[in-house]
Structure 1
Amino acid sequence: MSRHKATSVRPRYGRISVLGASLAVTAVAVLGGTGALPAALSGSGGPSAAIVQDKQADQQPAAAEVAADRASAAEPTPQAEPVAPVVVDPAADTTLPADSGSGRRIVFSESRQRVWLVEEGEQVRRTYPVSGSLSDNLDPGTYDVYSRSEDAVGIDDSGTMKYFVRFTRGDTGAAIGFHDIPVDEGKQVQTVAQLGTPQSHGCVRQRRADAIALWEFAPLGTTVVVTA
């Protein structure tokens, strides 16, 4: 009787591993197709669809934002309106002229047709528009009140005036001073509204109330400063 030699059987681990791996892949595919596993684990070979969509949403602005940006770009930038220069009427400037002396005095500006009654300490008691000479017969400088008449008559019977305060003389020797608006044949020779512009033949015309104020302010010897 012949004898057979028993042959030892070795488990084939390589085949078992391959078989296990195949089963695992098949299981994952089945579960992924049914939705039992997240798409990120479905073995698609790349990032899940949800992650890709999130990144696209971050990179692409919303339609409303794009429309707003386009509208802003289309709208022209508003331009600042030019500011018109401020024009100051010299007659309306009430600032005491520079270089007009010091101390208690009367100041008359020919260019601004205005008078200031100035107390000690540079305090302006009163300022108002006047009408000086049309012929520019008065030189800038410092003078003193030398004569006063509450009532006076103009040269060549050109009218009557009140509160005449004289401080110098013109080229013809006629007195130059401050008084109210002359009256000729019962009518003022100019209107109060014309004060602030040259109107006289040599003197400085004032509204009646201002003429009274200067009369009371200026006794003999009061300083009068005339500026250009």
Structure 2
Amino acid sequence: MSGRRRAEVRPRYGRIGAALSSMGVTAVAVLGGTGMLPSAAGEPAGSDGAITTSASEPRTPAPAPKPRERDRGERDVDAPPSTPGERVVTSELLPSDSGTGRRVVFSEDRQRVWLVGADEQVRRTYPVSGSIHDNLDLGTYSVYSRSENAVGIDDSGTMRWFVRFTQGDSGAAIGFHDIPVDEGERVQTVGELGTPTSHGCIRQRTADARAMWDFAPLGTTVVVVP
């Protein structure tokens, strides 16, 4: 027997605690993976961005989005186009009783013009400003005179692309032209088109007046509707 004393063996509590902790984590993971552990409705979002719920809790469907209100003047996607790639609202549709064949159609109520081809397709439609007076009867007319430049009665201004199709009670010509210019200023704004402002004729934007000029040679049919 040696005279040395054997060192006292002490339990290593740190290692035992770590082992027990590891076993606990493993058990939780196994139970959670099998669905045996319920989860709270307020848990953080999962990897897919959805809030986790327990199996017994039904998922509440998200409310359906409300239909978006149309902006004023927005085009109706169900209406037929007036030109390729363009959509129109109901007020822009060609009036049903407006004749047939190649023609110009002017609606006094809508203050709008349509240029219609021989195939009944609308080539162009746009707002205009007709007369504030009741000087134009409904019916069918024909272009009888044209002037690239003209002067209004009593030197009331100058205008371009004048396409005449009838005359008023006083004998003055009635037709389509651009917005007159008087003393260097337009007598109305483009924004006012769509409402009656003239004293007899039908005023158009410059681009529309030029389109009318190109579309309506002498003899072109003009139909005036309500």
For the superposition of Structure 1 and Structure 2, which TM-score range results when normalised by the shorter chain?
Answer: 0.5 to 0.7
Q: Secondary structure at the match of 1:142?
A: strand
Q: Deviations over 1:34-73 (max 9, x none)?
A: xxxxxxxxxxxxxxxxxxxxxxxxxxxxxxxxxxxxxxxx
Measured in 2, the distance between the counterparts of 1:222 and 1:126 equals 15
Q: 1:109 matched to which residue of 2?
A: 107
Letter in 1 for 2:110: R
Q: 1:79 matched to which residue of 2?
A: none
**Which of the two has higher C-alpha Rg?**
1
Q: 2:210 matched to which residue of 1?
A: 212
Shift of 1:136: 2.2
Q: Identify, as 1 or 2, the structure richer in helix.
A: 1
Measured in 2, the distance between the counterparts of 1:146 and 1:208 equals 21
Q: Deviations over 1:181-207 (max 9, x none)?
A: 000000000000100110100000000
Which runs of 5 or more residues in structure 1 are unaligned?
1-82
TM-score under structure 1 normalisation? 0.61
Q: Which of 197, 200, 216 is 1:199 aligned to?
A: 197
Letter in 1 for 2:171: G
Shift of 1:87: 11
Determine what percentage of the aligned residue pairs are the same residue.
73
**1:98 is aligned to 2:99:** no
**1:149 is aligned to 2:147:** yes
Q: Deviations over 1:156-184 (max 9, x none)?
A: 10000000000000011100000000000
Q: 1:123 matched to which residue of 2?
A: 121
Shift of 1:121: 1.4
Between Structure 1 and Structure 2, how many residues are aligned? 165
Q: Secondary structure at the match of 2:119?
A: helix
Measured in 2, the distance between the counterparts of 1:209 and 1:88 equals 24
**TM-aligned CA distance change 1:174 to 1:186, over 3 Å:** same
Measured in 1, the distance between the counterparts of 2:224 and 2:201 equals 12
Q: 1:158 matched to which residue of 2?
A: 156
Shift of 1:88: 8.2
Measured in 1, the distance between the counterparts of 2:176 and 2:149 equals 12
Measured in 1, the distance between the counterparts of 2:98 and 2:70 equals 26
Shift of 1:209: 0.5
Runs of 4+ that moved beyond 6 A = 85-89
Q: Deviations over 1:143-166 (max 9, x none)?
A: 000000000000010000000000
Measured in 2, the distance between the counterparts of 1:88 and 1:140 equals 30
